[in-house]
């Protein structure tokens, strides 16, 4: 179906959909068959986006007309249930477009269906991240640095001695990934109930909120619960997590770990990783991630599908960063801005400085190309990656202001002190 007359289309007629399913596709040609099926089905229904298909399952983000996405969902469910011969959980989330942006720029403009080794790359075998969302190509120098960094990570993971932490090795964790089950999923109501137990009980030293997303995601939004600290891992990429989690003292000293990510797919793997490292801890994950939580809390969608007035208890602060052309989801927590300008520390959470993400005018570090927050007043004074300037008055901007602090460096986690009461 050709995309025509967008001006006559309502935003509500189109959706972004996130989904994943960990299902065994290792036998025969199941992966290749699935690649062909999804490519053909999405093309016929004019669905665009990115889909990863591996022997351990499938993970996708697509945009398209709501009715066609629903048809696609039913077809995928039928095919996967035929393969597994049992009911399949597709963990699908339908997301609304932003009303403050035109319709068309928020939709993917191409379809990529990739055959991969894993649903999510936890050990750095592949580089799939936010900096490829718009298809920008890496320079030869950047590719060389990335290859060198990958070799360093692999070497570190092969070393069983974790300095300052517990002893662990990559092979054991990979075996546990097959042997262990993901930690229990909590619904938004269960998530709130468990975390809010601390509001009237200051002696909650056993609980920790764990954000397993990357630093550019958590900078614009994260969970905050009374008397429960939040650990922002501040990783640049997913494969930084194993070493960080094995050596973090805040995780080591807690007994209850409540982890979350955008849509749940990363927590499925990280929860097993933490179980492998810390078998005696009680570990929980937010089912469906931030996306499901905000839909339930902001829209208050009941089990029967009835939408009621918003709830007063929303523990997510700021905006939910997403890996599609919207950049952030329209649903957000009660405190709209938690991000800060890298230069002046003024509250700011717009990586694009008022431009739609598809315009490619975001602020990025000149070395590692990671997204950085620079307010509208400070942005004209610096030159970000991808910009050209002959003015000596506009120095290059980096993720550490005057230097890059993420390229080739280990992440520096940040423990965010909890509020003593709910933030309204």
Residue tagged 């009680």 (tokens): 282
**Residue 14 in contact with residue 63, Cβ under 8 Å?**
yes
The sign of the torsion formed by the CA atoms of 412, 418, 419, 420 equals: negative
DSSP string, 235-250: BSSGGGHHHHHHS-HH
Closest by Cα among 331, 372, 325 to 353: 372
> CB within 8 A of 203, min separation 6: which ones?
none
**Residue 254 in contact with residue 206, Cβ under 8 Å?**
yes
SS3 content of the chain, % helix, strand, coil (to 5): 30, 20, 50
Helix (H) or strand (E) holding 50: strand 48-54
Which residue in 261, 378, 384, 404 is the catalytic one? 261
* Distance set, CA 99 to CA 104, 298, 310, 354 (Å): 12, 16, 19, 14
Query: CA-to-CA distance for 139 and 145, rounded, in angstroms?
Result: 10
Closest by Cα among 417, 413, 409, 418 to 248: 413
* Distance set, CA 338 to CA 35, 66, 217, 294, 405 (Å): 40, 32, 12, 17, 21
Helix (H) or strand (E) holding 328: strand 328-332
Reply yes or no on whether 404 is catalytic.
Answer: no
Task: List alpha helices for 85-133, DSSP H.
Answer: none
- Per the document, the length of the chain is 424
> CB within 8 A of 173, min separation 6: which ones?
242, 273, 276, 277
Task: List alpha helices for 22-168, DSSP H.
Answer: 30-44, 66-84, 140-158
* Distance set, CA 141 to CA 152, 267, 368, 388, 401 (Å): 17, 33, 11, 19, 21
**Residue 259 in contact with residue 272, Cβ under 8 Å?**
no
Pairing state between β 316-321 and 328-332: antiparallel
Residues classed as catalytic = 261
């Amino acid at each position: 179906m050709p995309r025509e007359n967008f001006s006559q289309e309502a935003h509500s007629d189109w959706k972004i959909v996130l989904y994943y399913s960990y299902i065994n596709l290792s036998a025969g040609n199941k992966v290749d068959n699935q690649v062909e099926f999804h490519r053909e089905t999405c093309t016929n229904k004019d669905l665009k986006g990115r889909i990863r298909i591996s022997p351990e399952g499938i993970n996708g983000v697509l945009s398209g007309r709501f009715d066609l996405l629903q048809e696609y969902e039913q077809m995928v469910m039928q095919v996967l249930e035929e393969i597994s011969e049992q009911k399949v959980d597709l963990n699908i989330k339908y997301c609304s477009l932003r009303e403050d942006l035109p319709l068309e720029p928020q939709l993917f403009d191409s379809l990529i269906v990739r055959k991969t080794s894993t649903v999510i790359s936890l050990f750095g075998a592949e580089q799939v991240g936010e900096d490829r969302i718009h298809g920008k190509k890496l320079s030869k120098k950047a590719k060389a640095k990335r290859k060198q960094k990958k070799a360093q990570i692999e070497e570190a993971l092969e070393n069983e001695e974790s300095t300052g932490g517990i002893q662990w090795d990559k092979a054991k964790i990979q075996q546990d990934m097959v042997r262990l089950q993901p930690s229990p999923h909590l619904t938004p109501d269960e998530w709130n109930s468990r975390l809010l137990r601390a509001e009237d009980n200051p002696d909650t030293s056993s609980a920790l909120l764990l954000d397993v997303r990357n630093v550019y995601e958590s900078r614009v939004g994260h969970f905050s619960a009374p008397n429960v600290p939040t650990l922002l891992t501040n990783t640049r990429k997913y494969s930084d997590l194993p070493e960080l989690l094995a050596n973090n003292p805040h995780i080591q000293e807690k007994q209850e770990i409540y982890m979350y990510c955008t849509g749940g797919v990363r927590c499925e793997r990280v929860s097993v990783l933490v179980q492998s490292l810390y078998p005696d801890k009680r570990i929980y994950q937010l089912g469906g991630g931030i996306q499901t939580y905000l839909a339930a809390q902001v829209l208050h969608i009941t089990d029967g599908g009835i939408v009621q007035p918003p709830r007063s208890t929303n523990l997510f602060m700021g905006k939910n960063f997403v890996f599609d052309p919207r950049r952030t989801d329209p649903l957000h927590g009660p405190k709209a801005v938690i991000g800060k300008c890298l230069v002046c520390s003024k509250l700011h959470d717009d990586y694009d400085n008022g431009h739609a993400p598809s315009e490619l005018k975001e602020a990025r570090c000149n070395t590692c190309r990671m997204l950085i927050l620079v307010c509208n007043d400070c942005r004209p004074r610096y030159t970000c990656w991808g910009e050209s300037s002959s003015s000596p008055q506009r120095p290059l901007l980096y993720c550490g202001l005057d230097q890059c602090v993420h390229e080739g460096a280990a992440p520096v986690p940040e423990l965010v002190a909890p509020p003593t009461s709910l933030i309204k």
